[in-house]
């Protein structure tokens, strides 16, 4: 599926939801105007509208290290820029949870990174998602690929730590020969 087709389908889905919300609202008004509405119907309609309004699409990419997730994301979401925006190198590149967002209501995109130190806590990613203070967020200018590529470099930043801390973080791997031969 081409990127253009994917984008068109996402826009069509968004428009379908908007149209459905309007039609359900019109139906609710018609029921009221004709004395055919009941409290149960009102509740079902309210819940349906709330569900449609809060609905959003989430796509997750989960795999072992070095299995091509970044290349897949580049191909699906950034092919129109004719270059790799997400940094992609051999080996381990993204070691912290990373989220890319597009807010269609406010027409802006951003990236969120959870610092690697959060691995030391027993807090789940789901719990961290509820509290944005722990995340580093950066706006993405969709009209400026250079700006986006620069922001995405945050994903592969390296932080040097003593071996003891790397072990605690679950990042030390004795098979990494370059670590044993400085």
pLDDT tens digits, one per residue of 69-87: 888 888 888 888 888 888 8
Residue 115 has pLDDT above 60, yes or no: yes
Q: DSSP label at 22?
A: H
Task: Tell me what percent of the residues of the chain surpass a pLDDT of 90.
Answer: 32
pLDDT band of residue 97 (cuts 50, 70, 90) is: confident
For residue 148, with 0-12 CB atoms within 10 Å meaning exposed, 13-18 middle and 19 or more buried, which class applies? buried
CB-neighbour burial class of residue 86 (10 A; exposed 0-12, middle 13-18, buried 19+): buried
- Spatial contact of 145 and 81, defined as CB atoms under 8 Å apart: yes
Residue range 135-161, pLDDT digits in tens: 999 999 888 999 999 999 888 888 888
Overall average pLDDT of the 91-112 stretch: 79
Structure tokens at 112: 């969120």
What is the pTM for the complete model shown? 0.66
Res 1: pLDDT = 47
Per-residue model confidence (pLDDT) at position 166: 85
In angstroms, the CA 180 to CA 182 distance is 6
Percent of the chain, pLDDT > 70?
Answer: 88
Q: What is the pLDDT of residue 3?
A: 53
Overall average pLDDT of the 43-56 stretch: 93
Q: Could you state, in order of their start, the residue ranges of all structural domains in the chain?
A: 3-54, 69-180
Using pLDDT thresholds of 50, 70 and 90, give the confidence band for residue 133. very high
CA distance 19 to 23: 6
């Amino acid at each position: 599926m081409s990127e253009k087709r994917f984008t068109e389908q996402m826009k069509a889905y968004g428009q379908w939801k908007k149209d459905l919300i309007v039609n359900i609202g019109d139906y609710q008004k018609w029921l009221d105007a004709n004395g055919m509405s009941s409290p149960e119907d009102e509740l079902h309609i309210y819940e349906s509208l709330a569900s449609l309004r809060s609905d959003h699409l989430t796509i997750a990419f989960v795999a072992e290290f070095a299995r091509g997730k970044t290349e897949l994301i580049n191909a699906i979401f950034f092919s129109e820029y004719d270059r790799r925006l997400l940094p992609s190198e051999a080996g381990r590149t993204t070691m912290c949870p990373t989220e890319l967002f597009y807010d269609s209501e406010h027409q802006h995109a951003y990236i969120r990174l959870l610092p690697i130190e959060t691995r030391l806590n027993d807090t789940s990613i789901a719990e961290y998602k509820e509290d944005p203070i722990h995340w580093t967020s950066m706006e993405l200018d969709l009209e400026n690929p250079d700006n986006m590529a620069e922001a995405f470099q945050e994903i592969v930043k390296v932080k040097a730590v003593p071996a003891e801390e790397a072990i605690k973080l679950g990042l030390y791997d004795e098979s990494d020969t370059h670590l044993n031969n400085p």
